Amino acid sequence: MGHDKLRKFKENEGFGCLLQPSSESVLNVRDGVFGVKDHEIKGHWDERMFGGSGRPIVLELGCGRGEYTVDLALRNGGFNYIGVDIKGARLWKGAKYAHEHNLPNVAFLRTRVEFVEAFFAPGEVSEIWLTFSDPQLKSEGQRLTSPQFLERYRKFLKPGGVVHLKTDSQFLYRYSLALAQENGLEILASTADLYAGGTRETLSSAALASVCGPDSVDALFEVQTYYERMFLGMGLPITYLSFRIDHEGAFVSPQSFDTDYWRAAEGTRRSFGHGMQK
């Protein structure tokens, strides 16, 4: 491990806005089978991390360096934002900024996204942002918009809670759109090219603006990660989808989605490796 990573890990320990739970605090092992148990922060984020502000909580899952989480918090003080990622060296940047600038509405959680339900109580979260997630071309269960993950989100999102997906991956966008349609979820906004002419005006008048507020629409265009700027510079379109999570019964995979076609259409853009993004 490099000295720079060790330095960041050491600094992370002093950031009050960063929660780094041990694996033992969220994992149960019985007869060799792993299960997830509740962490003590579950249901207490507002009082323990945000001073009892009463502000709605918004998550960014797979937040990388936290630049999106921080920027959303800076532009909208009426919400609390929590960035979630497993990589401590990445989280260091956002946590350091939030710590040094005493941002009252920013926190970070270092954990695997698969464990997220262990940290949030029913109705504790209002919105989820998925920004440039790994599309998981060969593993549906690991896609952050798969039926398995939607079931996790449903356990802690408020009724009417919203999932935002912003991605350069046509594969992930088309899959998620088909899944939302298959399950009869209310789609608030959808575009295969966010920066095409007229899209901002269209989204500003869509249900998205009335549900999540104009700040959410502005953030789509004005908050950009390093990789988003890189993809835009290459002339690649950025997609966006938002939908409500409300649904009765089990979530099902989209039967209309042509996996082979969209996997092939993804082409060389995956060569960057989403594990390196943010």
Taken in order of first residue, the domains within the chain and their CATH numbers are 35-276 (3.40.50.150)
Structure tokens at 165: 């997906």
Any idea how long the chain is?
A: 278
Tokens 């939607």 belong to which residue?
Answer: 150
Q: What is the chain's pLDDT, residue by residue, as a tens digit (278 residues)?
A: 677 888 898 988 999 999 999 888 888 877 566 788 899 999 999 999 999 999 999 999 999 999 999 999 999 899 999 999 999 999 999 999 999 999 999 999 999 999 999 999 999 999 999 999 999 999 999 999 999 999 999 999 999 999 999 999 999 999 999 999 999 999 999 999 999 988 988 888 777 777 777 777 888 888 888 889 888 898 889 999 999 999 999 999 999 999 999 999 887 655 454 444 44
pTM tops 0.85, yes or no: yes
Q: Give the active site residues.
A: 134
Structure tokens at 141: 């269960």
Residues 6+ apart with CB under 8 A from 116: 59, 61, 84, 152, 153, 156
